[in-house]
Amino acid sequence: MNKRIYLCLAHMSETGIEQKYIKEAFDTNWVVPLGPNVNGFEEDLKHFVGNNKEVVALSAGTAAVHLALLACGVGPGDEVIVQSFTFCASSHPVTYLGATPVFVDSEADTWNMDPVLLEEAIKDRIAKTGKKPKAIVPV
């Protein structure tokens, strides 16, 4: 397959529907991460993943990582493995919760967390602390 698939549009779609929703947000004063469109998105996503699941849309990836770490029970004294080549939103929530980030380097060709180094880091932390890292944040 030679078709290039872009991760996001660098422009508005041909139908212009994005501009309609942006105008609606400004016209109704819902320019914060709340409002009927967000509520509708959450409901649609809840139906998509299954009605027995709860869904919440957040204003930032930092908030999403923070809530995920809370759900995993991360707290003071815990260690969380984080990729070294990342934005601070991956590690700041770890420190917000009183835990310690343990950084793992990336693969040269993908820039993703190196799975070999990840395995080494897990073994190292178990050997040095006697416990497994509480979570892994691969972004």
Q: What is the mean pLDDT of residues 14-27?
A: 79
Q: What is the mean pLDDT of residues 35-40?
A: 83
Q: Are the C-beta atoms of residues 136 and 78 closer than 8 Å to each other? A: no
**Sorting pLDDT into bands at 50, 70 and 90, what band is 50?**
confident
pLDDT, tens only, 59-118: 888 999 999 999 999 999 999 999 999 888 899 999 999 999 999 999 988 889 999 999
pLDDT computed for residue 104 by the predictor = 98
Instruction: Count the neighbouring beta carbons within 10 Å of the beta carbon of residue 105.
Output: 14
Please provide the DSSP assignment of the chain as one string. ------SS-SS--TT-HHHHHHHHHHHTT--SS-SHHHHHHHHHHHHHH-TTS-----S-HHHHHHHHHHHTT--TT-EEEEESSS-GGGTHHHHHTT-EEEEEPBPTTT-SBPHHHHHHHHHHHHHHHSS--SEEE--
Q: Strands 135-137, 100-104: parallel, antiparallel or unpaired by DSSP?
A: unpaired
pLDDT, tens only, 116-137: 999 999 999 999 999 999 999 9
**Sorting pLDDT into bands at 50, 70 and 90, what band is 8?**
low
Which domains can be identified in the chain, with CATH numbers?
A: 17-49 (no CATH), 61-137 (3.40.640.10)
Contacts of 70 (CB under 8 A, 6+ apart): 97
